[in-house]
Structure 1
């Protein structure tokens, strides 16, 4: 056997060893994903093809559960409420987070306190947060209405009024999670080279023009990321609604995930609830793919 063949065989052996080693390293994660994520996902789709009561026998119905969605007014309402919630939360969250990041980007006395105060709600238990705000927004004894009363303003029944319940939940959710996006924007802004700001100042650019022409284009990848994360989180909203309004008053705050929970664990219709869950899954999948496709039209800089 020639020396060239020996070297070639050794390279193939090393490459094969590296491949096997790589698969062995990621096998625990793949195994865990298959058992706890991919497997249950396929089983949930299997359930969605059945009339599957929580207690009782199941019957195969094909795509009947999906066909029934077209005639389900509660599903249509929950989908609209979810979209309204997302349209209200995402722009408000992103705008407020960016505004706070701009304010807290430069160092000044007490900056650590302000950053911590804004980020604390992110690590606070969601259930505790929702319970506290439920009492703060109480009609008569709530702190907010009592505070408004000091100025002669009669506060509404925030969570008991159809016109104010959803906006109240949106604002509570924004305050809860705005700190996370603020930190992401802060990190991105701190990566912008100072030389660009210095050049803009030499050209006589105002603070607004520096943000628009220097900061904003360079942090668009982060903005894109936060928009996707925030939108997906908004579409999956459940905890605040469950604690604060239970989908009411009426169905004004009954978002899609709450309707899925209600169908599964109050009406005990697991098959139909699984079909609802897969509709939400495909909506989020379509949104993510669409966002990824169009990102190059407004993401100005990618590493």
Structure 2
């Protein structure tokens, strides 16, 4: 009776390894099934349209006339002589720099203030976050009325004896108005991110600094700020990308004017495509915007090693 058992033992031992590869294959198939919708969505909604934009940028495509012919790099050469394109880059730079500085500074200040354990602080957190969920178009229309020459903003200024300008009809004030309105619209998101980061700072570190005699400003700049620097990096990347993609705000409030003072790159792209029916040149502007965003994001990401805490 010993021999059958002994003979069966090796046979069972030889069959066991076959189950492991089968299980691994099943796990791989399940993983592919779970990842497939995301990959398919990225392929259809991101990769293919991106490749199509690159292809369209090499062609002269006028929708109204039905013209579609290959012109190579002619559309890219056109950029070098297009003064309106230069103006759009300047306007985008002004808007982006102003928005990033004002938005991040205000969001961090609000987060520090709202991080206090005070009665009713939840109400203030909700109030500052509420504009985020408001329709951008509705938000822009309301502020467009408020910033008119006889609007609510100038009415408030008159109470304190200040004669306000026609905010949306002067080059300097129109850009400032766009920056402020966009900041108030989106500051709530950054505020929540900073608030979460502040609440994650270990309290024992700040208590130890207080025992050593450090004052609140020193504690904030030497302990709190370095520890939340990864969140500052995230917020800055998100804000820079969003500032370069602004369109609805400009379209509703200023229409790119006065002149080209608020014609940012995204709005100029829209004009070329849907007002002048020059989809080939608009595709070039889309490529420029993509490269610009990619470059700025890469620079920000690489700079993290110099100022973000615990990055090497």
Q: What are the residue-to-residue correspondences of 1:198-277 with 2, within 5 Å?
A: 198-277=207-286
1:190 aligned to 180, 199, 203, which one? 199
Aligned to 2:175: 166
- Deviation of 1:295 after TM superposition, in Å, equals 1.0
Bigger CA radius of gyration: 2
- Deviation of 1:4 after TM superposition, in Å, equals 6.7
- Deviation of 1:292 after TM superposition, in Å, equals 1.5
- Deviation of 1:3 after TM superposition, in Å, equals 6.6
Name the CA distance, whole Å, in 2 between partners of 1:90 and 1:2: 69
Name the CA distance, whole Å, in 2 between partners of 1:13 and 1:291: 45
Aligned to 2:6: none
Distance 1:102 1:68, change over 3 A: same
How many residues get paired? Answer: 302
* Greater Cα offset, 279-288 or 146-155: 146-155
Contact 1:247 1:253 in 2 (8 A): yes
The two structures have a TM-score, normalised by structure 2, of 0.93
Aligned to 1:61: 71
Contact 1:49 1:61 in 2 (8 A): yes
Gaps of 5+ in 1: none
1:99 aligned to 94, 109, 114, which one? 109
1:46 aligned to 51, 55, 75, which one? 55
2:298 aligned to 289, 293, 303, which one? 289
Aligned to 1:75: 85
Q: Say if 2:66 is the partner of 1:87.
A: no
Distance 1:194 1:60, change over 3 A: same
Gaps of 5+ in 2: 1-9
Aligned to 2:5: none
Aligned to 1:116: 126
Aligned-residue CA RMSD in angstroms? 1.6
3-state SS in 2 of match to 1:58: strand
3-state SS in 2 of match to 1:243: helix
Name the CA distance, whole Å, in 2 between partners of 1:261 and 1:164: 23
Name the CA distance, whole Å, in 2 between partners of 1:284 and 1:121: 26
- Deviation of 1:146 after TM superposition, in Å, equals 1.0
Distance 1:52 1:214, change over 3 A: same
Name the CA distance, whole Å, in 1 between partners of 2:98 and 2:77: 30
3-state SS in 1 of match to 2:67: coil
Name the CA distance, whole Å, in 2 between partners of 1:8 and 1:289: 46
Contact 1:220 1:301 in 2 (8 A): no
Runs of 4+ in 1 over 4 A off after TM superposition: 1-8
Name the CA distance, whole Å, in 2 between partners of 1:3 and 1:200: 66
Distance 1:5 1:297, change over 3 A: farther
- Deviation of 1:86 after TM superposition, in Å, equals 0.6
Contact 1:137 1:159 in 2 (8 A): yes
Q: Say if 2:51 is the partner of 1:11.
A: no
The two structures have a TM-score, normalised by structure 1, of 0.96
Name the CA distance, whole Å, in 1 between partners of 2:37 and 2:192: 32
- Deviation of 1:37 after TM superposition, in Å, equals 1.9
Q: Say if 2:190 is the partner of 1:181.
A: yes
Name the CA distance, whole Å, in 1 between partners of 2:262 and 2:11: 76
Name the CA distance, whole Å, in 2 between partners of 1:212 and 1:183: 20
1:21 aligned to 26, 30, 39, which one? 30
Aligned to 1:147: 156
